[in-house]
């Protein structure tokens, strides 16, 4: 018999992918240059030259060794390179056995959630949040608990989180820099969150894990992204090269389990176990080797910074309200009517593809991905103007 929950997931397209697919069809129908596609987070900056150079070099090595399985957690030398980079960049102790290589942050998150929860537990997320959190939390047999971010900062709302964390809570997921809002959590916010979690652990008599989803860590606009394990011991970092190195289709990332908590070793073992249970073993092996070369490679954020300036200045001039992003490459814009889906649908009439906020767990906003060609953003401005005017504004 077909598993109903799995059928439901397979049958229910994500709002982002649906819009992306609509965009592909529309571009084929009226020409790509006539569609302003702000739907998906596919980086528009090319991967750095070291990626190509490493791949070319790798192709000249012994093919049997090159394409062979790695251990489930990844090649020891690659895990070591990631650990050494973490130790150097964040001034912490880090060893290879705390690192588990995965096919992107998606696999890292699913394994981390499964590792620190039992069916029936609750996992707290801060809304708006990346829609797939729900999928991974529910797949682990847990319940998602949505807590709205503080307004207007979109930092964690400590009082609201305090009210939401209870005897069934096992983990809190944070995402900084944030998709969809672009907020980067400050050291103060993270410190307050850590204080809350420690107090709740004492009150509830159970460990509370902080899963820090960080695929956008390198994409910031002059803002510090604090290293969360240095602030809260029981932290699991989920990282990816998808955005940092513009390799989203190549599927490479990692889980890092902080070693400061009393149960850190057990958590690392459970992450490996969850990876095994989910089939997330031996992450793409050529990309593991590429990642090892790129652990300290800076991200090229200049184009995103420029896009951010053009988009925010253009929308400001038209009177749109938005959250100024400190990181990632998304702009969170207030919809011109309460129903975000209706607003997104109306935007389609002007060939603007913008994602309604509902699937991120809140109503009334839309998300614009600005990791796209600068020219598309510039040429989209008359469409944003016409969209606004269509509301009589």
Q: Strand, coil or helix: what is 243?
A: helix
Considering the complex, state which of residue 182 and residue 248 has its C-beta at the smaller distance from ligand PLP.
248
With CB under 6 A as the contact rule, the residue among 104, 182, 325, 356 that binds ligand PLP is 104
With helix as H, strand as E and coil as C, how does 69-82 read? CCCCCCCHHHHHHH
Residues 41, 156, 275, 325: which binds ligand PLP (CB under 6 A)? Answer: 41
Among 106, 174, 270, 291, interactor with ligand PLP by CB under 6 A: 106
Our finding on whether 215 is near ligand PLP (CB under 6 A) is yes
Stretch that binds ligand PLP, among 99-107, 277-285, 361-369, 371-379 (CB under 6 A): 99-107
- Residue among 115, 41, 37, 110 nearest 347 (CA): 37
Q: Does 229 bind ligand PLP (CB under 6 A)?
A: no
* Binding status of residue 333 toward ligand PLP by CB under 6 A: no
Q: Which residues are within 8 A (CB) of 361 and not within 5 positions of it... i.e. 6 or more apart?
A: 125, 127, 128, 129, 131, 146
Closest separation in Å from C-beta 101 to ligand PLP? 12
Q: How many chain residues bind ligand PLP (CB under 6 A)? A: 13
* Residue 280 or 350 having the CB closest to ligand PLP: 280
Q: Single out the segment in contact with ligand PLP by CB under 6 A; choices: 103-111, 142-150, 188-196, 319-327.
A: 103-111
> Are the C-beta atoms of residues 70 and 282 closer than 8 Å to each other?
yes
Residue 369 binds to ligand PLP (criterion: CB under 6 A): no
Buried b / exposed e across 205-243, counting CB within 10 Å, b at 16+?
eebbbbbbbbbbbbbbbeeebbbbbbbbbbbbbbbbbbb
Element (H, E) at 192: helix 187-204
Instruction: State how far the Cα of 260 lies from the Cα of 234, in Å rounded to an integer.
Output: 7
Q: Does 43 bind ligand PLP (CB under 6 A)?
A: no
What Cα–Cα distance (Å) separates residue 94 from each residue in 146, 263, 285, 305, 382?
Answer: 32, 15, 22, 32, 51
Q: Which of residues 41 and 229 has its CB atom nearest to ligand PLP in the complex?
A: 41
- Would you count residue 213 as binding ligand PLP (CB under 6 A)? yes
**Which residues, 138 to 177, sit near ligand PLP by CB under 6 A?**
175
Contact residues for ligand PLP, defined by CB under 6 A: 41, 104-106, 130, 175, 179, 213, 215, 240, 242, 248, 253
């Amino acid at each position: 018999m077909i598993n109903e929950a799995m059928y439901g997931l397979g049958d229910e397209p994500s709002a982002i992918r649906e819009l992306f697919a609509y965009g592909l069809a529309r571009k084929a129908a009226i020409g790509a240059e006539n569609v302003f596609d702000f739907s998906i987070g596919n980086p528009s900056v090319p991967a750095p030259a070291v990626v190509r150079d490493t791949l070319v070099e790798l192709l000249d090595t012994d093919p049997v060794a090159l394409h062979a399985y790695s251990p489930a957690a990844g090649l020891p030398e690659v895990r070591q390179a990631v650990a050494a980079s973490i130790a150097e960049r964040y001034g912490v102790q880090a060893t290879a056995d705390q690192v588990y290589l995965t096919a992107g942050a998606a696999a890292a998150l699913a394994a981390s959630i499964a590792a620190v929860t039992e069916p029936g537990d609750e996992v707290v997320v801060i809304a708006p949040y990346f829609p797939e959190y729900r999928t991974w939390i529910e797949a682990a047999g847990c319940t998602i608990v949505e807590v709205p971010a503080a307004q207007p900062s979109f930092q964690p709302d400590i009082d609201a989180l305090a009210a939401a964390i209870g005897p069934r809570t096992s983990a809190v997921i944070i995402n900084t820099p944030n998709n969809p809002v672009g907020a980067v959590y400050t050291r103060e916010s993270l410190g307050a969150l850590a204080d809350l979690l420690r107090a709740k652990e004492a009150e509830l008599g159970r460990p509370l894990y902080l899963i820090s989803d960080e695929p956008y860590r390198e994409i910031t606009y002059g803002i510090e992204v604090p290293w969360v394990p240095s602030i809260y011991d029981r932290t699991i970092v989920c990282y990816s090269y998808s955005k940092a190195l513009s390799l989203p289709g190549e599927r490479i990332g990692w889980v890092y389990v902080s070693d400061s908590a009393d149960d850190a070793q057990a958590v690392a073992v459970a992450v490996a176990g969850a990876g095994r249970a989910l089939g997330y073993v031996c992450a793409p092996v050529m990309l593991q080797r590429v990642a090892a070369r790129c652990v300290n490679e800076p991200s090229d954020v200049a184009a995103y910074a420029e896009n951010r300036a053009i988009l925010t200045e253009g929308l400001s001039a038209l009177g749109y309200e938005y959250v100024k992003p400190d990181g990632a490459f998304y702009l969170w814009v207030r919809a011109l009517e309460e129903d975000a889906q209706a607003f997104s649908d109306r935007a389609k009439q002007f060939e603007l593809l913008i994602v309604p906020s509902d699937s991120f767990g809140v109503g009334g906003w839309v998300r614009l991905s600005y990791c796209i060609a600068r020219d598309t953003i510039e040429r989209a401005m008359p469409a944003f103007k016409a969209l606004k005017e269509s509301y009589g504004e």
